[in-house]
Amino acid sequence: MAKLTKFEKATTAIEKIANSAKVTRGYDRCQEVTLHTGYSEPGYSDGPVATGNWNDITRWVDGKSEHVDDAPSRLATKLEAIGFELEWSDEWINCGQCGGLVRCSGDSYSWVPSYTEVDGEIECSDCALENPESLLESYEGNPSKAVTLDINPQAHGYVRLNDNPYEHGLHNGQDADPKAIAAVLDKLGVERYLFTLDESSQFYSTFSVWAHDENGKELLDHATHALQSPESYNGPSPSKAMQSALQDATAQMGSLPDGEGVKYASLQADGTAKVRLVSPQEFVEGIKHED
């Protein structure tokens, strides 16, 4: 009799433990587990990976959390014993080319995506960099996207327009805004420009803007000069918006009743806050943001 592969063992374990679940949510959580051949994220080893929600099913009753179904954790233990790495399904996605897993949720303040997304298609760094010119072109003219992969635009005909990295963050004066910069370049008639993320940290990020040398040296020199003053590249202040939103949240929190749930505030980019009461059950399962 042929020896079962790890994937066959894992599939059998998923079905068996799902069918032993005590409640429907436990069954569904086991069935939602997905098996993958490996990672495409830099720094991770090879090997099979299972993604899912490994939290057991609980409910909030009479002021305390009550355990309902341990099927997810039993499945996690079994899959690890078979030889699978475990990851959370909301933190990882598949590369559409090679199928490898890439992280889509940061695990540190300095994390940056090691993938790109074009027309809804995810490509890991290795796959995307197979065609660097096409990759860079997909970022052109979009101030809402920045290149995070290990690629030097200068090697592909782009000229950096800023001498020092622009800063965007929660400290005073870190108000540089890619949309403001894009507006300047569009007005000047600069084509084929893009942004790169230079640094990511807890409270700020730095970035640069590049334009293709097809624009011509005279226009690029003019654009570089036009972007020298803060008035040309600054947008709304994130630090002032944060201060305003915190003040608004404090004022609104006082209107929420005590003892009826968890007081929750969501700070908005426009300097306002949305506050509401969250039930203990929602707090345990993870607060769902409201639009």
pLDDT of 166-208, one tens digit each?
Answer: 999 999 999 999 999 999 999 999 999 999 999 999 999 999 9
Contact yes or no for 84/49 (Cβ under 8 A): yes
At 120 the pLDDT is 85
At 277 the pLDDT is 93
Under the banding of pLDDT at 50, 70 and 90, the label for residue 1 is low
As a dihedral over the C-alpha atoms of residue 142, residue 143, residue 149, residue 154, rounded to 10 degrees, the angle is 80
Q: Which residues of 195-230 are buried (b: 16+ CB within 10 A; e: fewer)?
A: bbbbebeeebbbbbbbbbeebeeebbeebbebbeee
At 62 the pLDDT is 78
Residue with tokens 């042929």: 2
- Which residues lie closer than 8 Å to 100 by C-beta, 6 or more apart? 36, 37, 38, 39, 40, 41, 94, 124
291: pLDDT strictly greater than 70: no
At 250 the pLDDT is 94
Contact yes or no for 266/245 (Cβ under 8 A): no
Distance CA 176, CA 128 (A): 28
Q: What tens digit of pLDDT does each residue of 83-114 get?
A: 999 999 999 999 999 999 999 999 999 999 99
Under the banding of pLDDT at 50, 70 and 90, the label for residue 28 is very high
At 38 the pLDDT is 96
Contact yes or no for 209/161 (Cβ under 8 A): yes
Residue with tokens 């600069």: 190
Distance CA 153, CA 133 (A): 9
